[in-house]
């Protein structure tokens, strides 16, 4: 893995490209702050999953979550934000200049806004937790190279799951996609060649992950007949979504509540100077697009106050 540190210093690094992250990006870049959004996937967040949105202000007709998200992203980019599709895997937040670590690139910034949403889940498949790091992974891009010519499977039915299975086909031709549903979501940019290389098993649930020191097999269950069978497997990549805040990459560097959400003050500051959080990853009681967008803009305004050493938050740069 080539871990380069980008020499450029950003004012604001935003982790997550959902409504919270993109609204923060729009406000930060419009305030002339050098801003970058690092987003695991534009199809992986809660808004991307919503087939229809009709309660976001200004929408006279319902639109798809994906379309609304595209508008948020385009608006942030129009005001000068950089957008990079990249999963963040670690952070270093205790110094004045903070570091955000991706798979093959690290970034430096004066302020960080965490906006990774709440689509995470607790390990739920028997064996998943036990074999984490020993055959079970949540990141094909990070770990695919360890499974050259081996049996690997991706569990999930989302576009993201399919994309990750596509990544694995670059390393082995024994790639299985096991979906608990009767169909999978395919994206526009999915090459038919990738799809041909993936063995898709629909309507099956993985009921156990087993092995010795490392994973050696999985058990799958046909959801219609209840029939179970074992499959030899070396790598298991889990892409099922739940409703837990996504905070794994923070490694306890930011205080979390007992429900694992990021605790913030009213203006979205965490207790670490220069670190903010917004949207579903925080301990907000209500999870809605309009609130995430509002929290995102508040986080950016707070970051602006911090970076420019202001006494008070201001939102009237255009007039100044
Ligand atoms: C099925 C469904 C229907 C919904 N319907 C409505 C509705 O009708 N109206 C409404 O107002 N709200 C609705 N919601 C809720 C709404 O979608 C969420 O409240 C909102 O999307 C939260 O925004 P967010 O930016 O906090 O998180 P998300 O939208 O989840 O975005 C998080 C982003 O962070 C990225 N990310 C995650 N981990 C990492 C990482 N390690 N590194 C980099 N990036 C990462 C993800 O790829 C994603 O792009 C719905 C939610 C769901 C699931």
pLDDT of residue 1: 46
Q: Kindly report the backbone phi and psi dihedral angles of residue 306, in degrees, each rounded to the nearest multiple of 5, phi listed first.
A: -65, -50
153 within 8 A of 176, measured Cβ to Cβ: yes
pTM (2 decimals)?
0.88
User: What atom of ligand 1 comes closest to residue 280's alpha carbon?
Assistant: 26
Whether ligand 1 lies within 6 angstroms of the CB of 102 is answered as: no
206 within 8 A of 219, measured Cβ to Cβ: yes
Q: Can you give the pLDDT of all 320 residues of the chain as single tens digits?
A: 446 666 799 999 999 999 999 999 999 999 999 999 999 999 889 999 888 999 999 999 999 999 999 999 999 999 999 999 999 999 999 999 999 999 889 999 999 999 999 998 888 999 999 999 999 998 888 889 999 999 999 999 988 899 889 999 999 999 999 999 998 877 665 555 567 789 999 999 999 999 999 999 999 999 999 999 999 999 999 999 888 999 999 998 999 999 999 999 999 999 999 999 999 999 998 999 999 999 999 999 999 999 999 998 887 655 44
Whether ligand 1 lies within 6 angstroms of the CB of 138 is answered as: no
d(CA 290, CA 49): 16
Rounded to the nearest angstrom, the distance between the alpha carbon of 149 and the centre of ligand 1 is 35
Nearest CA to 249 out of 102, 82, 94 is that of: 102
The sign of the dihedral angle between the CA atoms of 137, 138, 144, 145 is negative
294 within 8 A of 287, measured Cβ to Cβ: no
User: What atom of ligand 1 comes closest to residue 278's alpha carbon?
Assistant: 26
Whether ligand 1 lies within 6 angstroms of the CB of 49 is answered as: yes
pLDDT of residue 320: 45
pLDDT of residue 139: 85
pLDDT of residue 191: 56
Rounded to the nearest angstrom, the distance between the alpha carbon of 21 and the centre of ligand 1 is 10
The length of the chain, given as a count of residues: 320
Tokens coding 312: 């008070």
Burial label, 257 (beta-carbon count in 10 A; 0-12, 13-18, 19+): exposed
d(CA 283, CA 277): 10
Rounded to the nearest angstrom, the distance between the alpha carbon of 296 and the centre of ligand 1 is 12
DSSP 8-state code for residue 63:
B
User: What atom of ligand 1 comes closest to residue 118's alpha carbon?
Assistant: 30
Whether ligand 1 lies within 6 angstroms of the CB of 46 is answered as: yes
């Amino acid at each position: 893995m080539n871990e380069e540190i980008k020499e450029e210093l950003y004012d604001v690094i935003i982790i997550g490209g959902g409504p919270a992250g993109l609204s923060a990006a729009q406000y930060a870049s419009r305030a002339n702050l050098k801003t970058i959004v690092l987003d695991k996937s534009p199809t992986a967040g809660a808004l991307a999953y919503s087939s229809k949105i009709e309660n976001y202000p200004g929408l006279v007709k319902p639109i798809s979550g994906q379309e609304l998200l595209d508008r948020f992203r385009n608006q942030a980019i129009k005001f000068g934000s950089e957008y990079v599709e990249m999963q963040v895997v670690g952070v270093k937040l205790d110094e004045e200049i903070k570091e955000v670590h991706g798979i093959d690139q690290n970034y430096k910034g004066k302020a960080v806004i965490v906006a990774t949403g709440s689509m995470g889940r607790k390990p739920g498949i028997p064996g998943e937790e036990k074999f984490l790091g020993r055959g079970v992974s949540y990141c094909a891009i990070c770990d695919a190279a360890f499974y050259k010519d081996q049996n690997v499977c991706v569990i999930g039915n989302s576009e993201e799951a399919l994309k990750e299975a596509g990544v694995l086909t670059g390393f082995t031709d024994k790639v299985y996609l096991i979906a608990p549903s009767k169909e999978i979501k395919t994206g526009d940019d999915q090459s038919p060649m990738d799809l041909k290389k993936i063995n898709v098993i629909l309507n099956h649930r993985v009921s156990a992950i087993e092995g010795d020191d490392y994973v050696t097999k999985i058990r799958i269950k046909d959801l219609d007949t209840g029939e179970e069978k074992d499959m030899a497997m070396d790598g298991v990549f889990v892409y099922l979504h739940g409703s837990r805040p996504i905070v794994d990459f923070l490694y306890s560097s930011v205080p979390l509540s007992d429900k694992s959400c990021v605790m913030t003050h009213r203006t979205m500051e965490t207790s670490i100077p220069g670190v903010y959080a917004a949207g579903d990853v925080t301990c907000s009681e209500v999870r809605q697009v309009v609130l995430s967008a509002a929290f995102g803009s508040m986080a950016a305004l707070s970051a602006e106050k911090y970076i420019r050493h202001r006494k008070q938050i201001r939102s009237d740069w255009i007039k100044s």
